[in-house]
Amino acid sequence: MENFFNDEIEKTVFISEEQLRDVRERKLYGRYFPDTFIFNVYPEELKERGEYLCTVQALETQVDETDTGLSASVSGGRLLFFSEGKNLKVESYGLYQSIFSRNKGILETDIMSGKRAVILGCGSVGSLVAMELARSGVGHFLLCDADIVEYHNICRHQCGIEDVGDLKVNALERKLKNINPSVDVQKYEGIAQNLPKAQLDAFCVPGDTVFVGCADNRAADVYTNRISIYYSSYFISIGFWERAYAGEIFYHVPDRGMPCYECALGDGGNISARAQANHHIYSNQELTEGMKFEPGISVDINFITTIGIKLAIDLLNLTNADYIPRVLNDLKQYTVVCNTSNPQIGGEMVEIFSYPLQITRSLVVGFGKASCVDHQCCRYELQEKQERQKKQESQE
């Protein structure tokens, strides 16, 4: 192949260093791009998604000069590739190091690979959270959702038409492994309240785990925050108001004297009528008769969700002295973010915002229960501390 200047364009093989060192006889899968003359050999974890490229011959074989495809053989303990009788250029890479090389100095890969995220709700919010945390290097995920991907999800979800009909947890797992094939993904097909304790016991590591509430109701967030306290883990809730014209982000750090979600915001029954009327209703809702709420568009959902993702990354690096927080030091525990202040889009409720893209950092939440006020500590945290103390005393 030649370009405009009659320079010959070489066919090239992209392959990981791990696979290049493997000289066993085996089949290789991936994809050939005729526009760039590149054979991309997929990592072993993704081979089922690729097309058959060739079979590695353990012994040196006669090169077929008429074969325009890819062939591979072992010579002198090395893996060689050929096409049209020519020895091909090989560009190898350390898979994990190459994927996250652009993060170096911003997010340390070795640290992030040990971090864990429990994603409660894998819809438009949860799918974006999971994929961005994977791109940030988070190495372990527990995905929880009972729903399947449907066509009406596509305009807001990170998954696409090829995923319709499958469970959201399965579709999202494929997306995560397409970012980092070595990522550890655990799944639960069900709602947050039914997530098995044994599965959480095996997954959660205190100080390295964040629970992200991405479901569409406050009850799930109340329950999830209680679970995060039990496992001494961080918690974030990302929820939306009508048409996603605004959203709210709440976070909780254990052992910091902070009110939990229930104490600060309740279950929806003891907060202002305004917030009560607009909580978490943008997703998984059909426009049925009598319903005044409408789903938000993807760009509005993603803008607010991205702030929550930045916060999640900050929390996961809370004990890293070399890390510079992006938003944690500048946000209150409860933050409201708007996409518009135009009443034609958001209705009369937008009057509370002064300008588009406003991030309200002046809201203060406190302990809503008398027992919490007395101890200046979340009662669930207090219970866990007492239980741990009893267990320690019994062991002594």
The arithmetic mean of pLDDT across residues 112-122, rounded, is: 96
Which pLDDT belongs to residue 277? Answer: 34
Task: Give the mean model confidence (pLDDT) for residues 90-108.
Answer: 71
Cβ neighbours for 386, distance < 8 A, ≥ 6 positions apart: none
What is the token pair recorded at 174? 């494929």
What count of other Cβ atoms lies within 10 Å of the Cβ of residue 52? 12
Alpha-carbon distance of 125 to 238, in angstroms, equals 8
Confidence (pLDDT) at 92: 87
- Is residue 72 pLDDT above 60, yes or no? yes
d(Cα 176, Cα 139) in Å, to the nearest integer? Answer: 10
pLDDT at 85: 84
Sorted by sequence, the CB contacts under 8 Å of residue 69 that are 6+ apart come out as: 32, 53, 54, 83
Mean pLDDT of 99-116: 76
Highest mean pLDDT among 49-53, 54-58, 364-368: 49-53
Confidence at residue 283, expressed as pLDDT on a 0 to 100 scale: 34
Query: 161-204, pLDDT tens digit by residue?
Result: 999 999 999 999 999 999 999 999 999 999 888 999 999 999 99
Instruction: pLDDT band for 349, please (50, 70, 90 cuts).
Output: confident
Confidence of residue 278 (pLDDT cuts 50, 70, 90): very low
Q: What is the mean pLDDT of residues 56-78?
A: 76
Q: For residues 25 and 48, what is the distance between their CA atoms, to the nearest angstrom?
A: 18
Calculate mean pLDDT across residues 279-288: 37
As to burial, measured by CB atoms within 10 angstroms (0-12 exposed, 13-18 middle, 19+ buried), residue 174 is: middle
pLDDT at position 390, please?
Answer: 79
Q: For 142, phi and psi rounded to 5 degrees?
A: -120, 110
Burial class, 299, CB count within 10 angstroms (exposed 0-12 / middle 13-18 / buried 19+): exposed
Cβ proximity of 211 and 118 under 8 Å:
yes
Provide the angle, in degrees to the nearest 10, between the axes of the packed helices 379-395 and 218-230: 30
pLDDT for 176 equals 97
Mean pLDDT of 271-300: 46
**CA 380 remoteness from chain centre:** 27
Backbone angles phi, psi at 351, to 5 degrees: -60, -20
Is the pLDDT reported for residue 217 higher than 50?
yes
Q: How far apart are CA 30 and CA 39, in angstroms?
A: 7
Q: What is the pLDDT of residue 261?
A: 92
For the question of whether the overall pTM of this predicted structure is more than 0.95, the answer is no
User: 319: phi > 0 → left, psi -120 to 50 → alpha, else beta; which?
Assistant: alpha
Mean pLDDT value across the chain: 84
Which amino acid appears at position 382 of this protein? Answer: L
- Please give the pLDDT value at position 97: 67
**pLDDT value at residue 326:** 92
Average pLDDT over residues 242-263: 90
Name the pLDDT band for 280 (thresholds 50, 70, 90). Answer: very low
